[in-house]
């Protein structure tokens, strides 16, 4: 396809194209794959429970960190931008704690009503 | 005075638009805030999953004796254990592992396209965008298969109290557990799938513009970067969906 296209657009190219810097990208990729593999290891070797769920959530937060910091480049943005993204996410954490405890309460009250 | 001349004059005054406290372009900044609001939506959906799960009876017996029942919330490993071409073989989470790998890989090819854009390397941008579109398409295909399997159900189905059996799931009936489980499956993976689909559409548009040299003439590949932000966000959401829907 490239061989048949006209090269009129390439006129603005000045000088050599610098070499690709992909070391960090592939390193991040292998970290993400390794963390996912560890999650599967736990899923198949460990019995379900609070501890296993905690391990899953911690590993997920690590994966989220690498995606947002390296792939989305947030780590290299200005501090003001980093905080204006991260601080509102605290609201989600609060909602999560509130609604999951609400769910447990709802479950308890239904069970007590029927027993 | 025509509008073009006023637009061309750069604003330099501190109170005249010349100040950039976040040191990011308008487009990128707005993409970040859009993604923040989208994160709230996905967060709300996953939190409702947590709420529904905690308001249902958990399965307390041995995982080996697990059967589908509307009495308790199902174990995800027992629901998502099918793989295309391996009918009747119990392969817990194998297919979803494949889907996760495909999406992480597409994220890497996307970041490689962004990197190529920084170097003004048009051919590399094209190549990596093509790979990203391909992986995105494969992911959508996988999700279509998973939905089809979830909707049509397993061979055994679920035995009801009156002796009849139900197969598969829809919004009101569900062989795997409480109807809410299927509803949330359709909503959460469906909403994510819609995002992947929109992402692929955006990537195709950016790819066409790259091939036509639009960004090269403009002098920067920032549009690739902005679509890249969106695409990584879709991958990020999948990481959370994977943990909270399939693992826990």
What residue ranges do the domains of chain B occupy?
24-57+92-247
Do A40 and B97 make contact, defined as CB atoms within 8 angstroms?
A: yes
Name the CA radius of gyration of chain B, rounded. 23
Q: Please report the pLDDT score of residue A9 as a whole number.
A: 47
Contacts of A77 in chain B (CB under 8 A): 22-24
What does the DSSP 8-state code read for residue B62? -
Measured in whole angstroms, the distance separating CA B15 from the mean position of its chain's CA atoms is: 40
Contact yes or no for B102/B142 (Cβ under 8 A)? yes
Q: What is the DSSP string of B126-171?
A: HHHHHHHHHHHHHHHHHHHHHHHHHHH--SS-EE-TTS-EE-SB-S
What CA–CA distance (Å, rounded) separates B112 from A94? 36
The tokens 């993604």 sit on which residue?
A: B35
What CA–CA distance (Å, rounded) separates B224 from B114? 6
- pLDDT tens digits, chain B, 248 residues: what are they? 445 555 566 677 778 777 777 888 888 999 999 999 999 999 999 999 988 888 888 888 888 888 888 888 998 888 898 888 888 888 888 999 999 999 999 999 999 999 999 999 999 999 999 999 999 999 999 999 999 999 998 888 888 878 888 888 988 888 898 999 999 999 999 999 999 999 999 999 999 999 999 999 999 999 999 999 999 999 999 999 999 999 98
Q: Please report the pLDDT score of residue B185 as a whole number.
A: 94
What CA–CA distance (Å, rounded) separates B40 from A69? 19
pLDDT at A3 over 70: no
pLDDT at A6 over 60: no
Residue of B106, B90, B62, B58 lying closest to B231 (CA atoms): B106
Q: Please report the pLDDT score of residue B95 as a whole number.
A: 93
Please name the residue of chain B whose CA is at the shortest distance from the CA of residue A109.
B55
Contacts of B21 in chain A (CB under 8 A): 78, 80
Contacting residues for B244 by C-beta, under 8 A, at least 6 apart: B46, B49, B50
Phi first, then psi, for residue A82 (nearest 5°) are -55, -50
pTM for this model (two decimals): 0.87
- pLDDT, chain A, mean: 83
Q: Which CATH architecture has domain B24-57+92-247?
A: Up-down Bundle (1.20)
Please name the residue of chain B whose CA is at the shortest distance from the CA of residue A9.
B213
Q: Is A85 helix (H, G, I), strand (E, B) or coil?
A: helix
Q: Is A73 left (phi over 0), alpha (psi -120 to 50) or beta?
A: left
pLDDT band at A1 (very low <50, low <70, confident <90, very high): very low
pLDDT at A68 over 90: yes
Contacts of A10 in chain B (CB under 8 A): 122, 213, 216
Q: Please report the pLDDT score of residue B5 as a whole number.
A: 52
CA distance B133 to chain A (A): 17
What CA–CA distance (Å, rounded) separates B225 from B38? 18
pLDDT band at A13 (very low <50, low <70, confident <90, very high): low
ipTM of this predicted structure: 0.85
pLDDT band at A15 (very low <50, low <70, confident <90, very high): low
Contacts of A18 in chain B (CB under 8 A): 119
């Amino acid at each position: 396809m490239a061989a048949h296209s006209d090269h009129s657009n390439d006129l603005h190219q000045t000088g050599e194209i610098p070499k690709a810097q992909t070391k960090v990208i592939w390193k991040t990729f292998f970290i993400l794959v390794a963390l996912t593999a560890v999650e599967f290891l736990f899923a198949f070797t460990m019995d379900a429970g609070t501890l296993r769920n905690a391990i899953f959530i911690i590993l997920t937060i690590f994966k989220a960190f690498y995606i947002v910091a390296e792939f989305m480049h947030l780590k290299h943005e200005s501090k003001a931008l980093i905080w204006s993204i991260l601080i509102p996410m605290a609201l989600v954490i609060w909602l999560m704690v509130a609604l999951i405890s609400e769910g447990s309460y709802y479950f308890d009250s239904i069970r007590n009503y029927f027993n | 005075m025509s509008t073009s001349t006023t637009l061309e004059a750069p604003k330099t005054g501190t109170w005249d638009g010349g100040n950039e406290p976040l040191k990011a372009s308008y487009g990128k900044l707005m993409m970040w805030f859009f993604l923040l609001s989208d994160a709230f939506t996905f967060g709300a959906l996953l939190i409702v999953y947590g709420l529904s799960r905690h308001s249902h009876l958990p399965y307390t017996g041995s995982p080996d004796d697990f059967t589908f029942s509307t009495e308790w919330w199902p174990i995800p490993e027992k629901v998502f254990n099918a793989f295309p071409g391996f009918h009747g073989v119990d392969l817990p989470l194998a297919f979803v592992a494949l889907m996760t790998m495909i999406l992480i890989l597409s994220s890497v090819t996307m970041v490689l396209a962004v990197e190529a854009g920084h170097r003004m390397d048009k051919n590399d941008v094209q190549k990596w965008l093509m790979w990203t579109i391909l992986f995105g398409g494969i992911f959508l295909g996988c999700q279509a298969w998973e939905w089809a399997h979830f909707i049509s159900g397993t061979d055994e189905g679920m035995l009801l109290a009156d002796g009849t059996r139900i197969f598969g799931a829809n919004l009101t009936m569900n062989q795997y557990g409480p109807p809410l489980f299927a509803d949330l499956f359709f909503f959460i993976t469906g909403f994510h799938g819609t995002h992947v689909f929109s992402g692929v559409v955006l990537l195709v548009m950016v790819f066409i513009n790259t091939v036509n040299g639009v960004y090269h003439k403009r002098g920067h590949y920032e549009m690739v970067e902005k679509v890249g932000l969106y695409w990584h966000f879709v991958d990020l959401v999948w990481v959370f969906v994977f943990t909270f829907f399939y693992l826990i």
